[in-house]
Amino acid sequence: TAKDRLGEEATALKQYRRAMRLYKSLFGRDSLFVAKILNRLANMKGRDGSVDKAMVLFDESLRIRMLHLGNNHEDVAETLFGMGIVFEKRRDYGAAMKAYSDCLRIRSSKFGSDSMEVAQVVVNIGVVRGNKGDFSGALKSWNKALSIYRKHGLSDTDALVATVLNHQRLANQLKKRSRHK
């Protein structure tokens, strides 16, 4: 994980694969340790554009996590969030919305509707809505996220807030253009 965060992808992949072999031999192919490594590998594959491989890894991680943890655990939500990102990259917005909605349900119940974990999902739901041309829905999502961020004391200069404000500016511009056509 440290190598991944430092941008040393080749070394990180090698280490993750080694850890996967060890975990499988010690705990079995369906262990939560394996699911965690699968999730990390899926994130790496998604970042480098290998979305089909990422989805295979996320699917397997989700299967294992649901087997051990049920449908309402934060680790399941983490996998669903990653899957939502991959679905977005594939432009499968219906599947992305489903993954994010399931993630949102879990995170809202575990952390509360005004948690930073919920804000993260709400921002991505806004992106999906915007990509589908639903600018009003996107703006509604981003207003909710901004409300959460401000409750947590984040200012407009914070990177999370600034990103949402930029999304809102773009959506408002696109909304105006679509009205004038």
Q: Does residue 181 have a pLDDT over 70?
A: no
Quote the tokens at residue 151.
């409750």
- Which residue would you say has higher pLDDT here, 174 or 53? 53
pLDDT at residue 109, as a whole number: 97
- Mean of the pLDDT values across residues 51-66? 97
pLDDT at residue 51, as a whole number: 95
What is the reported pTM? 0.91
Percent of the chain with pLDDT over 90: 88
Exposure string of 18-33, with b = 16+ CB inside 10 Å and e = fewer, is: ebbeebeeeeeeeebb
Contacts of 5 (CB under 8 A, 6+ apart): none
pLDDT at residue 78, as a whole number: 98
What radius of gyration, in Å, describes the C-alpha atoms of the chain? 18
DSSP 119-169: HHHHHHHHHHHHHTT-HHHHHHHHHHHHHHHHHTT--TTSHHHHHHHHHHH
Residue type, position 96, single letter: A
Question: How is residue 62 annotated by DSSP?
Answer: H
Q: Does residue 44 have a pLDDT over 90?
A: yes
pLDDT at residue 83, as a whole number: 98
- Which residue would you say has higher pLDDT here, 95 or 172? 95
pLDDT-based confidence at residue 143 (cuts at 50, 70, 90): very high
